[in-house]
Amino acid sequence: MEKSTTVKAADIAPAARQWLASLLDIDLIDGDELTLALHRAVEGERSVRQANARKRLLALLAETDEKTRDVPDAEMDNAIDEAMQFVRSLRGA
């Protein structure tokens, strides 16, 4: 569920306005507008996303295993080392 609203600082109760000003570390003036957004995860949504991510990861690993089944371990180790060196070289770029 997601909801949002925009409120003028002038319309906010003084105590709430002070709290918001301290939270944002700013002095609010009457013409300021604040947008408040609520993001609420649907119950169980996280576990569904995790289960889907797990399925995709296992499928990807199975596909990789199938493609590399006949590659000797030494060749696989060399390919991994080369890939890691390439990625590390990008960090310094």
pLDDT digits (tens, 9 = 90+) for 48-57: 889 999 999 9
- Positions of E strands within the chain: 2-8, 33-39
pTM score, whole prediction: 0.42
Model confidence pLDDT, tens digit, residues 4-21: 999 999 999 999 999 999
Q: How long, in residues, is the chain?
A: 93
Round to whole Å and give the CA distance between 29 and 33.
9
Query: Among candidates 51, 19, 52, which has minimal Cα distance to 36?
Result: 19
Of 6-15, 44-53, 61-70, 80-89, the one with minimum mean pLDDT is 44-53
Residue position matching structure tokens 């003028």: 8
